[in-house]
């Protein structure tokens, strides 16, 4: 069995459920070797789920305190899940220089329409997802999904994220209803995204959250994309995107078994590699 690790977790500082120390204690109980905190980066508009500039300070303080307190028990890391929204989010570099982070994840949850500037939230309830496509993209799912991948590619090219969060999350609410992920236009967008990833040397995370919350019957990204990663030499790791301490190891072993079955020989985190 592979050693337990997780670099994607959200505590009560953003949209998670419990204080950070409860995640640390749960991770120690389960004999994790490493745990990373990755709160949602502050955004320049009010929302329910990201850090605010004030809670960001508290988050960093809490993380530093816990890293020191538990240094003999577990390796803890201060990270951030940074949203990339052209024209709205700060450059990743500014987060990294203003606050010495141990690592970061780059993710797209909010897709900006390049002409109107309106923003489509892909991660909330399905009603909002549909309404966004209708109102911002005139009901054109292909245009909306294309905008998601274009923004992801731009993030990879301009920000060079260390880890790319839930690469194909745009499929979560779709369930093959409005577009098919096997259509050639969709596959072409994925191909371009992976070509950018191979150049940026980012790590792609296999994110188990959509699966264990029952929102979708597969992981992010899909098995087909993971197979492409192997062919292209793109490193992968597993994260559970835990929003509660009990979710720290959800589908951790199953996800590693899948990677092994696909043919991966190891997983790569920003700090170490483990053999499968
Ligand atoms: Zn995310
Ligand atoms: Zn997350």
Q: Which ligand number lies closest to the CA of residue 84?
A: 1
Ligand 2 centroid – CA 78 distance (Å): 14
Q: What is residue 46's predicted lDDT score, i.e. its pLDDT?
A: 87
Long-range contacts for 62-69 (Cβ within 8 Å, ≥24 apart)? 62/13, 62/19, 62/20, 62/21, 63/20, 63/37, 66/20, 66/21, 66/24
Ligand 2 centroid – CA 15 distance (Å): 9
Q: Which ligand number lies closest to the CA of residue 107?
A: 1
Q: What is residue 44's predicted lDDT score, i.e. its pLDDT?
A: 87
Ligand 2 centroid – CA 222 distance (Å): 17
| Relative orientation angle of helices 20-29 and 53-69, to the nearest 10 degrees | 30
As a whole number of angstroms, the distance between CA 25 and CA 20 comes to 9
Tokens 């950018």 -> residue:
196
Which residues have C-beta within 8 Å of that of residue 14, sequence separation ≥ 6? 39, 40, 49, 50, 51, 55, 59
Which residues have C-beta within 8 Å of that of residue 21, sequence separation ≥ 6? 62, 66
Instruction: Supply the range of the domain harboring residue 141.
Output: 5-275
Ligand 1 centroid – CA 70 distance (Å): 26
Residue ranges with CB less than 5 Å from ion ligand 1: 107, 165
How many H-runs (helices) and E-runs (strands) does the chain carry?
A: 9, 11
Residue ranges with CB less than 5 Å from ion ligand 2: 81, 241
The pTM for the full model equals 0.97
How many other CB atoms are found less than 10 A from the CB of residue 214? 7
Tell me, what CATH number does 169's domain have?
3.20.20.140
Helix (H) or strand (E) holding 78: strand 75-83
Q: Which ligand number lies closest to the CA of residue 121?
A: 1
Phi-psi region of 241 (alpha: psi -120 to 50; beta: other; left: phi over 0): left
Q: What is residue 221's predicted lDDT score, i.e. its pLDDT?
A: 98
Q: Which residues of the chain have pLDDT under 50?
A: none
Q: What is residue 45's predicted lDDT score, i.e. its pLDDT?
A: 87
Which residues have C-beta within 8 Å of that of residue 210, sequence separation ≥ 6? 166, 169, 172, 216, 218, 219, 220
Phi-psi region of 43 (alpha: psi -120 to 50; beta: other; left: phi over 0): beta
Q: What is residue 147's predicted lDDT score, i.e. its pLDDT?
A: 98
Ligand 1 centroid – CA 66 distance (Å): 23
Q: What is residue 51's predicted lDDT score, i.e. its pLDDT?
A: 96
Ligand 2 centroid – CA 16 distance (Å): 9
Q: What is residue 54's predicted lDDT score, i.e. its pLDDT?
A: 92
Q: Which ligand number lies closest to the CA of residue 247?
A: 2
Q: Which ligand number lies closest to the CA of residue 242?
A: 2
Contact between residue 178 and residue 135 where contact means Cβ atoms under 8 Å apart: no
Total domains in the chain come to: 1
Between the CA of residue 96 and those of 13, 78, 101, 172, what are the distances in Å? 19, 11, 6, 30
Angle at 245 between CA 241 and CA 248, to 5 degrees: 45
What pLDDT, in 10s, does the model give residues 76-127?
999 999 999 998 888 999 988 899 899 999 999 999 999 999 999 999 999 9
Token pair in block for residue 137: 């993209």
Token pair in block for residue 182: 């096997």
Cα 208 from chain centre: 10
Ligand 2 centroid – CA 268 distance (Å): 19
């Amino acid at each position: 069995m592979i050693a337990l690790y997780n670099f994607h977790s959200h505590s009560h500082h953003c949209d998670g459920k419990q204080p950070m120390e409860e995640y640390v204690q749960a991770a120690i109980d389960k004999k994790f070797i490493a745990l990373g905190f990755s709160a949602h980066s502050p955004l320049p508009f009010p929302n329910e789920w990201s850090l605010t500039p004030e809670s960001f300070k508290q988050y960093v303080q809490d993380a530093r305190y816990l890293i020191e307190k538990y240094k003999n028990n577990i390796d803890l890391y201060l990270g951030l899940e940074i949203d990339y929204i052209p024209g709205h989010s700060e450059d990743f570099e500014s987060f990294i220089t203003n606050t010495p982070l141990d690592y970061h994840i780059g993710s797209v949850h909010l897709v900006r329409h390049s002409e109107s500037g309106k923003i489509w939230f892909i991660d909330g309830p399905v009603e909002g997802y549909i309404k966004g496509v209708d109102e911002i993209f005139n009901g054109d799912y292909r245009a909306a999904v294309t905008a998601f991948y274009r923004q992801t590619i731009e993030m990879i090219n301009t920000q060079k994220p260390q880890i790319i969060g839930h690469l194909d999350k745009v499929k979560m609410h779709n369930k093959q209803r409005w577009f098919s992920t096997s259509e050639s236009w969709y596959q072409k967008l994925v191909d371009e995204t992976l070509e950018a990833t191979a150049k940026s040397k980012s790590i792609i995370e296999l994110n188990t959250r959509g699966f264990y919350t029952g929102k979708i019957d597969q992981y992010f990204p899909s098995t087909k994309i993971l197979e492409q990663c192997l062919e292209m030499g793109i490193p992968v790791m597993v994260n559970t995107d835990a929003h509660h301490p009990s979710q720290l190891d959800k589908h951790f072993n199953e996800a590693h078994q899948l990677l092994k079955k696909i043919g991966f020989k190891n997983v790569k985190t920003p700090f170490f590699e483990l053999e499968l």
